[in-house]
Amino acid sequence: MPTRKRKQSSSSSSSSSSSSSESSDASPPRRSEQQQQPPQRRQKRDSRSPPPRRNNNRRSSPPPSSSHNRSGDSANRSQPHKTPTKFLGSDRAGLEDYLAERKRRNGDREQETKDREKDDKKRKDKKEKERKMKGDKDGEKKEVGAPNFERSGKLTEERNTYKGVVIKYTEPAEARIPKTKWRLYPFKGDEALQTMYIHRNSGYLIGRERKIVDIPADHPSCSSQHAVVQFRLVEHTRVDGSQTKKVKPYMMDLESTNGSFLNNVKIEPRRYYELKERDIIKFGFSSREYVLLHERSEGVRDGES
């Protein structure tokens, strides 16, 4: 037995020596091939380029077959409506009561819907009626306040133009030249200025537009056509109570920017205000005051005309 092991070991050693000799004989050509081939360099990845993506998406398993469910749905569709199981058998009276109750509930719902529609219709009709009535009332109010018979001046604009300027004011039909010799005494502070005689015409226009005005008012706060002094033939009551007509002076502001003042009270535009003896008139923010007097006033000298 031991001799056989030695022989096997000797044979294995001989085989290993022979293989090593063969490998030593074959190794030189391999080195020459490695020397002939150029060394391959590993390509460096650019730091700016993004790293390669890994495909982490796993294949999803196909959905389970739903043939069984589809077949079940088709079978359910093909089956007719069935009566509830609690009414099957001998409980015929219970089924009839159930159907009657269901029919009654459906009827109640339909009735509620109809009642609701009727209420909505009544509400809409009521609102429409109120809106029409309100519109009629507004129309009546507008018709009551619509007529305006005051003179606008548009119809007489062409013949009311003087020296290329349209005059805002038109004399009324009751305009008259007074018999009383009225005068305006202007004052600037305590200084008395030239007297103005205003009894020669029926009306006098006051403003900054010297082309057309009769009494110039050069203050910057005065408008081009500021106000007017108009003599009118109006009703007059005597001392004994009898009625007669008399020519009296009136004043009107022609919608000026800064207004007109009678006895330091601002007057409304486009409205006649009766002037009386010793009344004080001012226009705009001018410091000039105009005192109205006549030939028979106290302190007025005779002979002035």
* CA distances (Å), origin 207, targets 155, 229, 248: 23, 12, 22
Q: CB of 260 within 8 A of CB of 280? A: no
Confidence class for position 198, pLDDT limits 50, 70, 90: very high
| Residue 147 pLDDT > 70 | no
Alpha-carbon gap, residue 250 to 273, rounded angstroms: 5
Confidence class for position 102, pLDDT limits 50, 70, 90: confident
Taking residues 56-70, what's their average pLDDT?
52
pLDDT of 68: 47
Q: What is the pLDDT of residues 112-132, one digit of tens each?
A: 888 888 888 888 888 888 887
Q: Indicate yes or no: pTM above 0.85.
A: no
pLDDT of 304: 54
Q: What is the b/e burial string over 245-266, where b = at least 16 CB atoms within 10 angstroms of the residue's CB? A: eebbbbbbbbebebbbbbeeee
Q: Which helix (H) or strand (E) holds 235?
A: strand 227-237
3-state SS string over 77-146?
A: HHCCCCCCHHHCCCCHHHHHHHHHHHHHHHHHHHHHHHHHHHHHHHHHHHHHHHHHHHHHHHHHHHHHHC
| Residue 29 pLDDT > 90 | no
Taking residues 86-101, what's their average pLDDT?
68
CA-closest candidate to residue 292, choices 278, 271, 274, 272: 278
Tell me which of 63 and 299 has the higher pLDDT: 299
Q: Which one-letter amino acid corresponds to residue 124?
A: K
Query: If 0-12 CB within 10 Å is exposed, 13-18 middle and 19+ buried, where does residue 174 land?
Result: middle
pLDDT of 118: 87
Ranking 138-142, 169-173, 203-207 by mean pLDDT, the lowest is 138-142
Residues β-bridged to residue 281: 262, 290
pLDDT of 18: 47
Taking residues 90-104, what's their average pLDDT?
76
Ranking 3-17, 45-59, 215-229 by mean pLDDT, the lowest is 3-17
Confidence class for position 25, pLDDT limits 50, 70, 90: very low
Helices (runs of H) and strands (runs of E) counted in the chain: 3, 14
pLDDT of 248: 95
pLDDT of 58: 54
Confidence class for position 23, pLDDT limits 50, 70, 90: very low
Q: What is the pLDDT of residues 34-50, one digit of tens each?
A: 455 555 555 555 555 55
Q: What is the b/e burial string over 81-118, where b = at least 16 CB atoms within 10 angstroms of the residue's CB? A: eeeeeebeeeeeeeeeeeeeeeeeeeeeeeeeeeeeee
| Residue 224 pLDDT > 70 | yes
Taking residues 189-203, what's their average pLDDT?
92
Alpha-carbon gap, residue 167 to 151, rounded angstroms: 13
| Residue 179 pLDDT > 90 | yes
Token couple for 141: 């109010």
